[in-house]
Structures are given as C-alpha cells and as structure tokens.
Amino acid sequence: MSIDDVLLEAEDKMEKSVEKTRMELASLRSGKANPEMISNISVEAYETHMKLKDLAAITAPDVNLLVVQPWDLTLVESIRKAIEESKLGFNPVVDAKIIRIPIPPLSEERRMELIKVARKISEEGRVGIRAIRRHSLEELKKLGKEAHISEDEVERAEKEIQKLTDLYIEKVDKMLEVKEKDLLKV
C-alpha cells in the first residue's frame, strides 16, 4: 500500500459516508411529498426483504401525495403493509393497482423534532468522516515505519487527509443547512 492508496481509500470512504448521510436526510419528511421519503422502506417480497424502490415506481404527482405503482401487482398488499409499519406515520390507501399515500402538513412541533433528527444524522455523518480520518492517519504512520517513507511525505499526506476531512464535513454541513431550510418552509 502506498500513500496514494491511503488517500484514495480515505476519499472513497468519505464520499460514501456523505452519500449515506444524504440518503438519510432525504428520507426525512419535509412539508412536501418526495419519493425518497419511502424509497428505502424494506418490503417482504419473494421470500426475502427488498427496498421499495426496487419493487415499484414511486412518484409525487402533487406536493401532498405520493403514488406507488408496483411492477408486480401481487405485491400491492405487502407494500401497503410495509409502508404502514414503517415509523414514518403514513396511511397508505390501496386504489386497485396503485397505492396512494397522502402527506399531511407538518406541525411546527414536528418540524422542530425533525430538525433535531436531521442534526443527529449529520453529526453521525461527521463522526464517520472523522473515524475515516483517524484510520487513514494510522495507516500513514504504519507506512512511514514499514515502507521507510520520509517524515515530510507522511506529513504532506496527513495534511491532505485533513483537507479531505474538512471538505467532506463541509458537504455534510451544507446538506444539513439545506434540509433545515426545507423543514422550516411552510
């Protein structure tokens, strides 16, 4: 393993951490319907568990409505049940071949709760990025000893890891800022 390998691995893992945080924030309900709110719900289908987005088309034809169109009509009831059992508080209505999910407006109190959840999700993302930084710095120290790489090169790589960390934490902070504005919009 080289310094470049450590840097590339760190950047790749940080990117995945940011993407995971983005998906978790997207699933938080804001005032308007968004297909990502339910796309990762686990549905029992074909004797296994699958994500809803792999079983149906999810659209938001209106700001207060989500529509789920299963590709296999035998799954309508399983999908309805999974949506009901998710802790999102939705009441899906089966309408022949589709499932309609009305999205009620958020109360001020619920918006504040969701902002707290969004901040927690963001903090988890930042903690994950810092853990990646810590692991990468340990790898660099090992490389410095084992591969006889100069202290200057290791120090340069450590600074590069810190730059990556700052960049990805800033991305998480920006996503949180956007989500908070979205949640506060009435």
Task: Write out the residue limits of the CATH 3.30.1360.40 domain(s) in the chain.
Answer: 32-102
SS (H, E, C) 86-114: CCCCCCCEEECCEEEEECCCCCHHHHHHH
Question: In the chain, where do the E strands start and end?
Answer: 42-45, 48-51, 56-62, 65-70, 93-95, 98-102
The two beta strands, 65-70 and 93-95, are unpaired
- Statement: 32-102 belongs to CATH 3.90.1310.10: no
Question: What φ, ψ does residue 30 adopt, rounded to 5°?
Answer: -105, -165
The size of the chain, in residues, is 186
Read off the pTM.
Answer: 0.73
Q: What is the pLDDT along the chain (186 residues), one digit of tens a residue?
A: 788 999 999 999 999 999 999 988 887 766 678 888 888 889 998 889 999 999 999 999 988 899 999 999 999 999 999 998 887 778 899 988 999 999 877 788 878 888 998 999 999 999 999 999 999 999 998 888 887 788 888 899 999 999 999 999 999 999 999 999 988 876
Residue 124 exposed, middle or buried by CB count within 10 Å (0-12, 13-18, 19+): middle
Q: Helix, strand, coil % (nearest 5) of the chain?
A: 65, 15, 20
What's domain 3-26+107-184's architecture? Answer: Orthogonal Bundle (1.10)
Task: Write out the residue limits of the CATH 1.10.132.20 domain(s) in the chain.
Answer: 3-26+107-184
